[in-house]
Amino acid sequence: MAKYDPKSLLPEEFINDEEIRETLRYADENKHNVALIDEILEKARPVKKGSGCYCRGLTHREASVLLACDIPEKIERMYEIAEEIKLAFYGNRIVLFAPLYLSNYCVNGCVYCPYHLKNKHIARKKLTQEEVRQEVIALQDLGHKRLAIEAGEDPVNNPIEYILECIHTIYSVHHKNGDIRRVNVNIAATTVENYRKLHEAGIGTYILFQETYHKESYLKLHPTGPKHDYDYHTTAHDRAMQGGIDDVGLGVLFGLELYRYEFAGLLMHAEHLEAVYGVGPHTISVPRVKKADDIDPAAFDNSISDETFAKITACIRLAVPYTGIIISTRESEQTRSKLLRLGVSQVSGGSRTSVGGYAGYSPEERPHDTEQFDVSDQRSLDEVVRWLMEHGHIPSFCTACYREGRTGDRFMSLCKSGQILNCCHPNALMTLTEYLVDYASDETREIGYRLIEEELKRIPRDRTREIAAEHIEAIKNSNARDFRF
């Protein structure tokens, strides 16, 4: 039988089924062990160090005990600490991005996704380079600077050359003051050689969801196509790192398997990356199964309530304090509102989940023919930006780190020492100013300017504050853009 070893490159050893089951047994035995729970909560808290603070994070076993615990005051405490960590390391900033669907051709048979090969009535579409250009112009006109590109797996229709060409096109479009400054990539597991090509094309984070860590379920949920190969899929992030991509994103599709199993698997995956490459995942996404063309979420009997979803998010925040947490427009305004407090650092806004969903459509029009899933939060980017500010957050369009070479362990060491905050905060204010000047409605602009004025005062270093203020004035009074720390 395979033995658990986070340093191993074999998936059955670093995502070890026996270790997950043992973890769940341990969590059940200790879910009312108040002394242990208090000890774990204490370990998760940010600790003061010099002018900043640091966090120790939690192991998958410790975090699983918290997730199993159903004592209301302890859950409240988890939420408080998640918020403390969020404020200590991410402040009140929320980074915004949008998905861009390139193609929904797919040879896989994933039973929860309408793009599966056997769905013969969904319209299939693949963007031409001219259509990519039009989509990018539409996204720039909304105000986006950061995209996540998505494509089904299809070696004939969507080979790596097509993806690379699209990335090149995206970076080459500069419409008015617009710019896409960071392209994150969410495509199927591939070879080290292809990851190297993606790295050379200048991508930000490579994101691949595991969907489920439960191998038996995985094989049933992915009955056909290359994605059926659990081992190849589970080792994709390793190959991405070996290909030079040092920012990788993990995620599971909550609702497919028992959430406590997924949670332990997800954290073990993060521990594996840290153990082997010295740097954990850059982001973790927490999507839930949603309604789509021929998909009914009720067909999956492991769906989770909003309360459980909030608890999962808070426990991830406690366990991996330096990893960004992403939620998408799959979630409603109400759910997103609650999760933002608990440690989420990135959200999508004004999203379309169909191929060619942006160009040529008014904000109210929403093409459904090639949609991957129903978008619960259908507000425009301007509405999302305003709503974030009204709830005390700073919407940020910052992409500075990747462009300044602050990736992988360089990024993590700055993040762990708290120094990154000296960049994030002024960068958020400058990129928000760009958005307000170039794209916002009058109402949003007015709220934003007031917020920026207040937030500038909170930049602790005099020199940084002065430079940020000068840049903000330059953005307001000229076409000068793209200042960054």
Place of tokens 């999507």: 287
> Cα(242)–Cα(206) distance, rounded to whole angstroms?
12
In this complex, which beta carbon is closest to ligand SF4, that of residue 314 or of residue 400? Answer: 400
Give the nearest distance from C-beta 65 to ligand SF4 in angstroms.
Answer: 30
Concatenated DSSP letters for 15-48? S-HHHHHHHHHHHHHHTT-HHHHHHHHHHHS-EE
Least distance between ligand SF4 and beta carbon 379 (Å):
22
Q: Answer for the pair 311, 261: CB distance below 8 angstroms, yes or no.
A: no
Least distance between ligand SF4 and beta carbon 221 (Å):
9
Binding flag, residue 186, ligand SF4 (CB under 6 A): no
Residue number with CB closer to ligand SF4 (23 or 370): 370
**DSSP-derived secondary structure for 114-168:** TTSTT--SSPP-B--HHHHHHHHHHHHHHT--EEEEEE---TTTS-HHHHHHHHH
- Considering the rule CB under 6 A, would residue 95 count as an interface residue with ligand SF4? yes
Question: Applying CB under 6 A, which of residues 398, 436, 440, 451 lies at the interface with ligand SF4?
Answer: 398
- Assess 396 for contact with ligand SF4 (CB under 6 A): yes
In the list 19, 62, 131, 153, the residue contacting ligand SF4 (rule: CB under 6 A) is 153
- What are the helix and strand counts (H, E) for the chain? 20, 11
List 207's β-bridge partners, or say none: 249
Tell the smallest beta-carbon distance from residue 60 to ligand SF4 (Å): 25
> How many other β-carbons are positioned within 10 Å of the β-carbon of residue 18?
12
At residue 158, φ and ψ (nearest 5 deg) are -125, 55
Q: Pick the closer one to ligand SF4 by CB: 115 or 309.
A: 115
Q: How far is the CB of 64 from ligand SF4 (least distance, A)?
A: 27
| Token pair 């459980």 in the structure block, residue | 308
Contact flags string 205-244 toward ligand SF4, x per CB under 6 A: ----------------------x-----------------
CB of 266 to ligand SF4, least distance (A): 18
**How large is the angle between the packed helices 306-319 and 259-277, nearest 10 degrees?**
20
* Contact (CB, 8 A) for 74 and 82: no
Nearer to ligand SF4, 16 or 433 (CB): 433
CB of 14 to ligand SF4, least distance (A): 23
Site for ligand SF4 in 413-452 (CB under 6 A): 420, 423-424, 427
Give the range of 120-128, 314-322, 398-406, 438-446 binding ligand SF4 by CB under 6 A. Answer: 398-406
Shortest spacing between CB 231 and ligand SF4, in angstroms: 16
Task: Kindly state the number of chain residues that form the binding site for ligand SF4, as judged by CB under 6 A.
Answer: 20
Burial profile 252-278: b = 16 or more Cβ within 10 angstroms, e = fewer: bbbbbbebbbbbbbbbbbbbbbbebbe
Q: Is 396 helix (H, G, I), strand (E, B) or coil?
A: strand
Does residue number 102 form part of the binding site for ligand SF4 (CB under 6 A)?
A: no
Q: 152 vs 357, which CB is nearer to ligand SF4?
A: 152
**Shortest Å distance, C-beta 414 to ligand SF4:** 8
Among 275, 426, 327, 290, which residue's Cα sits nearest to residue 99? 327
388 forms part of the interface with ligand SF4 (CB under 6 A): no
Minimum separation from the CB atom of position 91 to ligand SF4 (A): 9
> What residues between 103 and 142 interact with ligand SF4 by CB under 6 A?
106, 108, 110, 113, 115-116
Q: Which of 341, 376, 285 lies closest to 97, judged by CA?
A: 285
Binding letters toward ligand SF4, positions 48-87, x by CB under 6 A: ----------------------------------------
> Could you give the count of Cα atoms lying within 13 Å of 308 in the half-sphere of its Cβ?
13
The amino acid sitting at 32 is: H
Give 47's strand partners.
54
**Interface residues toward ligand SF4, by CB under 6 A:** 95, 106, 108, 110, 113, 115-116, 152-153, 188, 227, 396, 398-401, 420, 423-424, 427
